[in-house]
Amino acid sequence: MKQKFIQGLCAFSVLMASVAYAEAERPNILVILTDDMGYADVGFNGSKDIKTPNLDKLAGEGTVFKSAYNAHPFCGPSRAGIMTGRYPHKFGSQFNLPRSSRSGGLGIPVEETYISKVLQKAGYFTGAIGKWHLGEEPEFHPNNRGFDEFYGFLNGGHDYFPEKFSASYQRQKKQGLDHAIFGYLRPLEHNGKEVEEKEYVTDGLSREAVNFIEKAGEDKNQPFFLYLAYNAPHSPMQAKEEDMAQFPNITDKKRKIYAGMVYAVDRGVKRIVDSLKATGQYDNTLIVFFSDNGGKPTLGANNAPLQGRKGDVLEGGYRTPMFFHWPNHIPAGKTFVHPTSSLDLYPTFANLAKAEIPKDKKLDGKDIFSSLQTGSSPRPGEMIYAVRHRLGFSEAAARRDNWKIIKRGKTWQLFDVDKDPSETNDQAAKHPFMVREMVAEMEAWSWTNIQPKWFHIHQEGVQWREKAMPRYHETFFLE
């Protein structure tokens, strides 16, 4: 009997040891997302005037992506892509949520299981900090979509200086405006309860990220997933004086404010890295940094050498600066040139976490982890798509290996975006069969798109109906 008990005990301790070993193998996952950041607005991706020493250090010790794409060239649908691992066009989320109060009561369909839910079910401690923009009603709230912790704001943006936005909010509240008060002025929240944020919002979000990391560090057997979605450098353009003072050589006023906002993020990244080290979690944390879409040059961003801006299917609209960092697991000092998508994060994270993806879950991305090790393309011969509906017509683009087809007006163009990232040398006339083949493949993909479940502004909905959108019969027509 005793013998059996001891045998059982041994088996139990072996089991416990293997559990601990397995846990140690599963990394913490930290996503640092910026908002509307230009391709050339971080040092590691070519910025000559904005300093980002802390991001650059991580990028230099990790792998920098040169062709990382978002699922959409603006905020809401891009984020829906990150969370669901699917093109937002496939579940009717290809527009930002309605601008009306509480996003019109709408949100990303609850049938779409988020990566946070998958990781939470696999035992991860999960947190979302910052901008949400995926629905404000309880069923769409981060706490109901797989996040144990949420600190931030639910709508699409926020003012930065509490002494100003709190005063405006209180004044308007006294006037009885209540539901009509602009979301950018509303108090931030922690797990559904209003809080009084006292710091510049970027600093407040960095502080909360550090708090989360410290809390996560108390139980090393439970890995964490933190989705830190800074709203910087999204408008309103508001920077701290001391951050702008870092850039005496920038004379353009807009660029200087923009630079200050990016610098505040970089300062926050230092605090986060320091806390990962102090809590002994740095070596086992995968850090992924990128922006949700391209920058707006009119607000001081720089997408060089890419053409276009936020909202476009030109490269500048949805190709983003990005890196992966994880000591001894992600190749250090490497550049990854192959086309990758933010949709790749879902399967990559799930597999690293040894998490179970629901059987009926459809995914559009690839697990890119082994491709990063070998430096090979995760999708040779396969396409990455971008569709942006405008008033009365659709912009469309698809990238396959080094080639990209794009239609923004009447005709399809073809660019070798490896050699010609600025999309200046149209080669469609030289390769008509390739264009025809790629357009046909994209048209077949478009059949998976469904009607939008909402529109951001009223006029978009009116135009959609009056102009019989999405007008794919015209979009995929070849002359």
Provide, rounded to whole angstroms, the least separation between the CB of residue 433 and Ca ion.
37
- By beta-carbon proximity to Ca ion, the closer residue of 329 and 456 is 456
Which of these segments, 32-40, 101-109, 162-170, 352-360, binds Ca ion (CB under 5 A)?
32-40
Sequence-distant (6+) residues with CB within 8 A of 52 are 42, 43, 44, 262, 263, 265, 266
Sequence-distant (6+) residues with CB within 8 A of 456 are 76, 95, 96, 97, 98, 99
How far apart, in whole angstroms, are the C-alpha atoms of residue 334 and residue 330?
9
- By beta-carbon proximity to Ca ion, the closer residue of 36 and 112 is 36
Does residue 97 belong to the site contacting Ca ion (CB under 5 A)? no
Buried b (16+ CB within 10 A) or exposed e, 132-160: bbbbbeeebbbebbbbbbbbbbbbbbbbb
- By beta-carbon proximity to Ca ion, the closer residue of 189 and 292 is 292
Sequence-distant (6+) residues with CB within 8 A of 107 are 97, 134, 135, 136, 137, 139, 140
Does residue 423 belong to the site contacting Ca ion (CB under 5 A)? no
What secondary structure letter does DSSP report for 122? T
Which of these segments, 44-52, 68-76, 161-169, 461-469, binds Ca ion (CB under 5 A)?
68-76
- Determine the size of the site formed for Ca ion (CB under 5 A): 5
- By beta-carbon proximity to Ca ion, the closer residue of 36 and 423 is 36
Which of these segments, 293-301, 311-319, 326-334, 391-399, binds Ca ion (CB under 5 A)?
293-301
Does residue 35 belong to the site contacting Ca ion (CB under 5 A)? yes
Provide, rounded to whole angstroms, the least separation between the CB of residue 402 and Ca ion.
27
Peptide bond into 236 cis (omega under 30): yes
CB 295 within 8 A of CB 24: no
Does residue 197 belong to the site contacting Ca ion (CB under 5 A)? no
Provide, rounded to whole angstroms, the least separation between the CB of residue 75 and Ca ion.
4
| Contacting Ca ion within 350-389 (CB under 5 A) | none
**E-strand spans in 55-168?**
63-69, 125-131, 149-153
How far apart, in whole angstroms, are the C-alpha atoms of residue 130 and residue 229?
5
Does residue 112 belong to the site contacting Ca ion (CB under 5 A)? no
CB 226 within 8 A of CB 129: yes
1's tokens: 């009997």
Out of 126, 293, 320, 371, which residue is the one contacting Ca ion (CB under 5 A)?
A: 293
Provide, rounded to whole angstroms, the least separation between the CB of residue 110 and Ca ion.
23
Nearest to 190, CA basis, from 144, 132, 151, 142 = 151
Provide, rounded to whole angstroms, the least separation between the CB of residue 159 and Ca ion.
16
- By beta-carbon proximity to Ca ion, the closer residue of 293 and 413 is 293
Which stretches within 102-217 are classed as H helix?
115-121, 162-174, 201-217
Provide, rounded to whole angstroms, the least separation between the CB of residue 156 and Ca ion.
8
Out of 136, 243, 266, 292, which residue is the one contacting Ca ion (CB under 5 A)?
A: 292
Out of 27, 28, 33, 36, which residue is the one contacting Ca ion (CB under 5 A)?
A: 36
Nearest to 243, CA basis, from 229, 234, 233 = 233
Residue 397 phi, psi dihedral angles, 5° rounding = -155, 150
Does residue 34 belong to the site contacting Ca ion (CB under 5 A)? no
Does residue 243 belong to the site contacting Ca ion (CB under 5 A)? no
- By beta-carbon proximity to Ca ion, the closer residue of 292 and 315 is 292
Q: Please report, for residues 77, 95, 107, 232, 333, the alpha-carbon distance to residue 452 in angstroms, rounded to integers and kept in the order given.
A: 11, 7, 12, 28, 42
In the bound complex, which residue of the shown chain has the CB atom lying closest to Ca ion?
75
Provide, rounded to whole angstroms, the least separation between the CB of residue 316 and Ca ion.
13
Catalytic residues: 75, 133
- By beta-carbon proximity to Ca ion, the closer residue of 35 and 56 is 35
Q: Please name the amino acid found at residue 245.
A: A
Does residue 56 belong to the site contacting Ca ion (CB under 5 A)? no
CB 230 within 8 A of CB 20: no
Does residue 75 belong to the site contacting Ca ion (CB under 5 A)? yes
| Residues in contact with Ca ion by the rule CB under 5 A | 35-36, 75, 292-293
